[in-house]
Structure formats: C-alpha cells, structure tokens
Amino acid sequence: MEKRVIATDKAPAAIGPYSQAIEVNGLIYTSGMIPVIPETGEIVEGIEAQARQALTNVKNLLESAGSSMDKVIKTTVFIKDMNDFAAVNAVYATFFSGAFPSRSCVEVARLPKDVLIEVEAVAIR
C-alpha cells in the first residue's frame, strides 16, 4: 500500500500537522476544506458564499489529484447551524451531476476560524 500526499495552492494550506489530502489505493481522502480563499487567506461572508467556497476548495484539491467532483463517493459536511441546511443543499447540488455521493451532515459547535461550514470528501482517482 502506497500513500501519496496531495497538495495544491488552489485550496487552503494546512494550518496544522496534516495534509490537504492523501491518496491510497486509488482513493483520495481530503481533509476538511473551509471557505478560505486560497489566494488571499480571506473568508467569504454568509452561508451560501461559504458553502460555495468550501466546495470550490474541495473541487480544486480533487482536480489537482487527478480526480473530480463527479468521482466523489462520500462527503461529510459540518455546519454551524442546522437552520442553514436548505441553503447549503442548494449550493451543494450545483457541484455534482448524475448520482450524488453519499453524505453525512452534522451540526457542530465550532469550526476552525469560526467559519460556518467545512466539507471533506472521499473520491476515486
């Protein structure tokens, strides 16, 4: 089993002792992506914009690994407020075509940098 570290400047850099993503046996496991604009380090405002940016960061990370959103098989979405569920779903649906991946969505007390959403994914290369 070979483990390959995946890194790109098109997604937020790791802010701790972890990799942006790891590939093992053709599966890519991303770390949680928060809505940080990679070029500036800024955080966008509002749940829709944050969902879009977090998912864009996942997309960019997967593409840098030779995969895509169409190859995602599982996501986990962490949100600060379950009242944002419908808004997150509306944005989330625009990132996938065909069969949606399986997903968990969990309300959490707090996320890094006090963002409203964090998304992680598992995809096939």
Q: Which of 27, 43, 49, 105 is catalytic?
A: 105
* Dist. CA 33–CA 21, nearest whole Å: 10
Query: Is pLDDT at 1 greater than 90 in this prediction?
Result: no
Q: For residue 73, give its domain range.
A: 3-124
- CATH code where residue 114 lies: 3.30.1330.40
Work out how many domains the chain is built from and give that number: 1
Residue 105 is a catalytic residue: yes
The answer to whether 49 and 110 have CB atoms below 8 angstroms apart is: no
Distances (CA, A) of 63 to 66, 98, 107, 108: 5, 18, 28, 28
Q: How many residues does the chain have?
A: 125
Residues 71-88, mean pLDDT to the nearest whole number? 98
Q: Is the pTM of this model over 0.95?
A: yes
pLDDT in tens, 40-74: 999 999 999 999 999 999 999 999 999 999 999 99
User: Percent of the chain at pLDDT above 70?
Assistant: 100
> How many angstroms from the chain centroid is the CA of residue 4?
19
